[in-house]
Structure 1
Amino acid sequence: MKILIIGGNGTIGKKVSSYFAKKHEIIIAGRSNGDVNVDIANSDSIAAMFEKLGKVDAILCIAGEAKWANFNELTEEDYYIGLRSKLMGQVNIVRIGQHYLNPNGSITLSTGILADDPVVKTTSAAMVNGGIHSFVQAVALEVENGIRVNVVSLGMVEDAYEKYKDYFPGHNPVPMNKVVNAYARSVEGKTNGQIIRFYE
């Protein structure tokens, strides 16, 4: 398969890209590095990326940001960071990317445990993750040409534990082999419209 991995150079993306590169042709997209550049908060940038690449068999998005801050400190503009990037960025990847997928291709989005088990300072991020979960379940009913759409929702991953452990007291880090398996299940399996959860 020809697989586009948006965010393929990140903490999770590197491990996922390494796995798929063993069996498939991969293209890594990133905001500032990769085989092609893209800003997922900008739909014109997404469209330009796909126009440059042409047809692919699978699209993975392991990118997107949201503001972390105490609820009473979040401004309206702070919420729009997550809405434009992680939420609408991934919605637009499906909306635009479906036209560049070969029949029976797949799109895999990414969220996290905050949708189901939020911690402090994550009001915006939790909201965005929950929205993506609902979007995936709904869009899978309508997307055409045999295209499958899933979302991988992870707990705090092993490789990011030291950086984020203070935000997640008592949480068990998710081993990186489980992280990779979640994306493999979506891309190489037949799952559709599912929230693939690995929280520990």
Structure 2
Amino acid sequence: MKILVVGGHGTIGKRVVETLLQKDKVIVAGRKKGDVLVDIADSASIEKMFKEIGNVDAIVCIAGEAKWADFSVLSEEDHYIGIKSKMMGQVNLVRIGQHYLNQDGSFTLTTGILAEDPVVRTTSAAMVNGAIHSFVKAAALELTRGRRINVVAAGMVEDAYEKYKDFFPGHNPVPMRKVVNGYVRSIYGKGNGAIIRIYE
């Protein structure tokens, strides 16, 4: 298989890429480094990336940002950071990518526990995560030629525990092996329209 991983140099992405490389060809895309560069907040950049790499058998997105701040100070523009990147970035990756995804191929998007169990300062991030869950369930009804779409939603991953533990009091860090297996399940399994929750 030829697999595109957007965000393949990130905390989760690099672990996923290591696993996928054991059996398949992986193209890593990133905003600043990778086999190909892409800014998912810019649909023209997504189109340019696909024209460069051609058709693939699986498209994985482990990228996207959102503003973390107290709700009382979040501006409209602050909300648009997540809407344009984490939400529409992934939507556009599917919208454009469907024309470059081979028959029986799969999309795997990424959200997180905030969609269902938010913590303080995550209003915007929780909002866009929830939107992606709804998008995946709806898009799965309309993809053609045997193509599938799922989303992996993980809790606080162990490799980011030290950085984020103060935001998630009492949360158990999720082992990276479990997180990676969520992506493996989406790519190599047969599920469609699934929210693959890995919260503990």
Question: 2:162 aligns to what?
Answer: 162
CA distance in 2 between partners of 1:158 and 1:151 (Å):
19
Give a deviation string over 1:75-117, Cα, whole Å, max 9, x none: 0000000000000000001000011011000000000000000
Question: 1:81 aligns to what?
Answer: 81
TM-score (norm 1): 1.00
Write out aligned runs for 1:5-20 (5 A): 5-20=5-20
Question: Tell me, what secondary structure is at the counterpart of 2:151?
Answer: strand
CA distance in 1 between partners of 2:67 and 2:168 (Å):
17
Gaps of 5+ in 1: none
Question: 1:108 aligns to what?
Answer: 108
CA distance in 1 between partners of 2:151 and 2:159 (Å):
20
Shift of 1:145: 1.2
Question: Which AA in structure 2 matches 1:14?
Answer: K
Shift of 1:144: 1.0
User: After TM superposition, where is structure 1 displaced by more than 6 Å over at least 4 residues in a row?
Assistant: none
Gaps of 5+ in 2: none
Question: 2:46 aligns to what?
Answer: 46
Question: 1:133 aligns to what?
Answer: 133
Question: Tell me, what secondary structure is at the counterpart of 1:183?
Answer: helix
CA distance in 2 between partners of 1:39 and 1:96 (Å):
14
**Identity, % of aligned positions:** 70
Question: 2:185 aligns to what?
Answer: 185
CA distance in 1 between partners of 2:32 and 2:142 (Å):
33
TM-score (norm 2): 1.00
Aligned residues: 200
Shift of 1:143: 1.1
Write out aligned runs for 1:58-77 (5 A): 58-77=58-77
Question: Tell me, what secondary structure is at the counterpart of 1:99?
Answer: coil
Question: 1:26 aligns to what?
Answer: 26
